[in-house]
Structure 1
Amino acid sequence: MRNPALAWIGHPLTVIAVVVLLLNDHLFKPLWPGVVTGKLSDVAGLIVAPPLLNLLIRRPHLSILLTGTVFGLVKTTAAGAALASQAWTLVWGPSLVLADPTDLIALPVLYATWWIWNHPDARAVRLARAVVVIPLTVLAVAATGQVETFKPYSAHAVDVIDDMIVVATRGGRQPGPAETGFASGDAGNSWSSSAIPVPSPSKTSACVPGRPDRCYRTVATRLKVEEFRNGRWATAWEISPGDQDRLARAYASERPEDTEVVASLGIAIQKLPGGYVVVVANGADGIALRDISGAWHRLGWAERGFDSSSAVSLTASGRYDDSIPMAALMAALAAGLVALGCDVRRSGFAVAALTLWVGVGLFYSGVNTAVLFNPVAVLLAMALVPAGATTMVMSAVRGETPLRVWMVSTTTAVVTYYAIMMPFYAWSAGWLGYYSLASGLSIALGIATASAGTLAVIKLKDHETPEAESGR
């Protein structure tokens, strides 16, 4: 056997385990999430991991022992799960591995792995097969650590079926059921899970049964309901456009394609003894409910249905994108470096300033990643930031940069940061009505302050030049 390590990873049973791992994680789990598909990943992974590890350390027994030990630590300790999450994040992007002691039931499969090692496949095609299997094996093992995606909840349709208010919803942890629902038999006071299908899209207007003169309708793209009375349509309930804009930001997803609309999408009316209730599906904001007394309430997402106490407060601070402070920091740093560079005007300074800028960005992203931190980014930043800063300062000193230029450049960076952030602070506090307005003001103020700082340094440089020439 010229290459037993390749023969092990190319063994037919190992190849089968790789195929099972890929099919299970990318097909079976989304279709049939549950205990069986979860444990199947553990079984197949324990067969695949030792021969893959053996390619690096060339110690079969140690590879099997390390696989079992690491698997046990990851599945039984929070620290082990966190470290595994970091390792998978480095290889495959943001990932999450969860501790689950019940997964230890798969450990005996390591005997099968040992048996495969001791019964190599002697056919001549094993080397070619191994060449194909190795990248697939790495892909299959890495794919098992992917984070479950979360899609924002959305109430997208509503109807009254068999004297029950039924709201069709979607969202939650993915993979999972694409459509869910909640039903209420007591005029929206309590809710329970429901599998009753609701037509989608649902009706956007409805009349009180037996009262064709009393109708309600939603307004497209708005959180708003109009009521037909006295021969005309009038506003019955609404959220102001500014507050609706803030709610849309509150429910925004990290992935724009997963963001659900915040607007009234459907309406239904339930006739009750002594009156009626109106229910409106409001997308990501949950539902609006007109109770039998005529009062309107916003009901947000609760553990089992909807509840008024769970509705996002309209007076709460608005949530802007988490990336905004980072973008402001990087823009401010760039503004300060450009202003300083207008005095230094050395190619070495430009390279050093760019190195510092990249290093700061790597450090910020490394310590703010979804799973603890990204040590590779942090370590690289720890090398780039001191190197860039030191070279930049040395280049500026050699260019005899005056102290006042340093002060203007530093001030430019600080003022630019707050100029960019102030509109978002104002929007969050409710002083600006729309997020788009805050974004536009932020860009305009950032450009203005950065330009002012650069022009100030250029003016200082121009004033110094005649003095320097007269001194000579």
Structure 2
Amino acid sequence: MTVAGVFVLLVNDHLLKQAWPGFVTGKLSDVAGLMVAPALLALLFWRRADLAATLLTGALFTLVKSTETGAEAASQVWTLVAGPSRVLADPTDLLALPALALAWWVRGRSLHTHSPKWRIIAAMPLTVLAVAATSAVHMPAAEFVEVDGDRIVVHVSGGQDQISRDGGATWSESDRATADEPRRPQSAACVPMQATRCYRVVPGRMAVQQSDDGGDSWRPSWTTSDDDRERLRRTYSGSHDRHSMGLAAVPRPGGHVVVVANGLDGILVRDVQGTWRRVGWPGQAAEQAATVDVSLERSVALFLAACMLFGGVGAGVRQFHRVYTGFAVFACLGLFGIVAEAALLDHDAFGVVVLGGVAAALGTLACLVLAFGGRARPVTAAVGVGGAPLVFAAVYLPFHGWAGGAPDAYEVAVVIAAVLTALVLVAGAALIRNDAGRSGP
């Protein structure tokens, strides 16, 4: 039944959701996920613990779907595991909870079959592929700015308009009262009652220029940094609205403000003091905004973590060392094929991912058998198992922080990742060497 649930996830999330997004395909995905999750979660327990796994699945699903805190936590975790992701709280998804009863019934029947756990393990590569599917989401884009009395309205395609009544300091969402009509954004504007001060967006770029002589000459007023441009490129790869699209200049007490419709990046505001601030997407619109793609860095982190795992265990194998090393390399390359192909290739890499999953599963099972058969030393095995998540965190977290702006420079993230990874590897090597010295030949 686990394999059947995985098949439903594959077909629904990779095909049906793309063709017919909506209530039915969304709930079908929840039902299939609840059918598969308890069996996979039970693998984390030393002994068979189906009831605990089922109850824990239901509790976590309820927390994620009924609270904003749970949804945000799930988004962060799933982003670390499967790339930029957004999990939304939706209480109607709790209608899928009865699927846990069916999963419990099917799991109970598997007690009378041979090696049900190994069936689940064999299905895990397909499961990883199935749950990594993403739904087609139309990203909002700020297209043009309109001034209506004391209101500043940023019109948004694919989302709710943003309205400010205090000169761009705060924003609220509002559905459009009238149907959309084709409208050309205002790309340049002069400050009312101050005709010599003008602003304009730079065609094809996310940048604003300023003129102090009524438009005779222009100079840069705001532009993105190199790192910000790289974040935008990774966030909206393949999209065409990665540039400033329109603006408006509004007089305010003490000066004037400028509000820019910054396309997919949301709203940009210059306050009366002359300070530019990227507002982005305030309120619920932030839920639809895309996140920076650091899948390549995550792929490297997973690959190095797998090397740490297999290398640590293999350092303590007393027999079959060469055979173990060969299967370890086979498993690591298969894992790298799973996590890296989608990041490195522009076309569909389904076949390569499946082959990589098979290689990783077979290599891992062979290494597990050889580690027990070769009487691997417990300390070195513990170093490998414990060091793998530390290596992943050391490599990936600095880039995850860079995606959020801290650190601001990509080069700094590279240095931090290299230093942290080196510390983990040196500590692991020291523990393995110390254990080898105590164990003797």
Same fold (TM over 0.5): no
TM-score, L = length of structure 2: 0.45
TM-score, L = length of structure 1: 0.43
